[in-house]
Structure 1
Amino acid sequence: MNEILPLMRRAAGSTTELVRAIGDDRLGLPTPCAEYDVKALLNHMEWGASLFESVAAGGPFVPPKQEYTGDFPERAGRMLAVYERPEAWEGVSEAMGGLPRAVLANMALTDLVAHGWDLSRATGLDWEVDEETAALLLAFAAKMAPRGREQGAFGAEVPVPDDAPALDRFLGLIGRDPAWKP
């Protein structure tokens, strides 16, 4: 385990609180992910948590799920429980093309933060990420953005001023416009 686990716990906690605050009346709202409304993004996040839980435990790639079930908090909790084990950080994941499991943890953190931001923007509900997490993700995205774009995980880079907050620069690197509004 390393310095990422406490950041994952904080990000999962704040994103889970946000998800719990989203009422059914907001499920149809648009999000910064053009292909997803809030409900579809929540479904994607549920799948992501299950995927990272599986690959961190040495399991298979979990195919995307088709229907929203409303259980992101439970899935995020199970994912974090796997990352509490030292072996979740060791070796590589064959299910994810031989990527080191530590890289997958960074990807899980990226997912929690990016989609927490997406949901906050879409719903107008409060959500925050600490500067330490934003800085770590900015450094990670700077290394991984080209591959992420090739794999379709990240969009085209959105120009963001060099003196913008780390979260905004991270968002720009992964293809989000920090100024997005519904």
Structure 2
Amino acid sequence: MNLLPMMKDAAERTSALVRSIRDDELTLPTPCSEYDVKGVLAHLEWVASMFESAGRGEEPPAQGEYSGDFPERAQRMIAAWERPEAWEGVSPGMGLPKPVLAHMCLTDLVVHGWDLARATGRPYEAPEDAVAELLPFARQMAPMGRERGAFGPEVEVPAEAPAFDRLLGLIGRDPAWKP
């Protein structure tokens, strides 16, 4: 499956959401328990820069402070992945195949978009094609994700729950979380 259109869509959705966040919302708690809204934004900025570097075959940057430029970083990240060679080989910084990194990128964009929407009371509709692609990926990556601290402990979600709720539960988010 070609992930690039899903990455573009998720980056655009999350960028639109980020642009709508007001300064007075930066300290709100999020479903990502270690971060408030500002922390999720700073993390997303780093994620965009990190996956831009991965798409270019470069070492990842260190995580920095919040700067308010996620939409611009997301555009640069997508531009890096629009190059065919971005999908080839293994990342020098993370040692993972590039398609795995693209899945990780998509996961971050979709889930942290939901985190921000939940925290700020905005609507968020996860793209169905992305969720369908990410659910089996998350099942496969969950043990390593938990080991590396990227995923929290699994939250029990009914088997008949919507796919996005199951994805959230699998990576450690409570789909019913409210501020």
TM interval, shorter chain, is: over 0.9
* Contact 1:54-1:62 within 8 A present in 2 as well: yes
Superposition TM-score, scaled by structure 1 size? 0.96
Choose from 91, 97, 101 the match for 2:98. 101
Structure 2 letter corresponding to 1:137: L
Give 1:37 shift: 0.7
| Counterpart residue number, 1:121 | 118
SS at match of 1:99: coil
**Residue 158 in 1 paired to residue 161 in 2?**
no
| Counterpart residue number, 2:83 | 85
Runs of 4+ deviating beyond 3 Å = none
Task: Give identity over the alignment, percent.
Answer: 64
What aligned pairs does 1:144-155 form with structure 2 within 5 A after superposition?
144-155=141-152
Rounded Cα–Cα distance in structure 1 between residues aligned with 2:128 and 2:161: 12
Structure 2 letter corresponding to 1:100: P
Give 1:61 shift: 2.1
Rounded Cα–Cα distance in structure 2 between residues aligned with 1:33 and 1:126: 17
| Counterpart residue number, 2:138 | 141
* Contact 2:30-2:119 within 8 A present in 1 as well: yes
**Residue 22 in 1 paired to residue 27 in 2?**
no
Q: How much is the aligned-residue C-alpha RMSD, in angstroms?
A: 0.8
How far does the alpha carbon of each residue in 1:151-177 deviate from its partner, in whole angstroms, 9 at most, with x for none?
A: 110000101111111111111110000
| Counterpart residue number, 1:167 | 164
How far does the alpha carbon of each residue in 1:5-41 deviate from its partner, in whole angstroms, 9 at most, with x for none?
A: 1111111111110000101111110001111110111
Give 1:56 shift: 1.5
Give 1:80 shift: 0.3
User: Where in structure 1 are there 5+ consecutive unaligned residues?
Assistant: none
Rounded Cα–Cα distance in structure 2 between residues aligned with 1:145 and 1:72: 26
How far does the alpha carbon of each residue in 1:114-147 deviate from its partner, in whole angstroms, 9 at most, with x for none?
A: 1000000000012212211111110110110100
Rounded Cα–Cα distance in structure 2 between residues aligned with 1:12 and 1:178: 21
Structure 2 letter corresponding to 1:120: A
Rounded Cα–Cα distance in structure 2 between residues aligned with 1:54 and 1:88: 10
| Counterpart residue number, 1:51 | 50
* Contact 2:49-2:60 within 8 A present in 1 as well: no
Superposition TM-score, scaled by structure 2 size? 0.98
User: Where in structure 2 are there 5+ consecutive unaligned residues?
Assistant: none
* Contact 1:171-1:178 within 8 A present in 2 as well: yes
Q: How many residues align?
A: 179
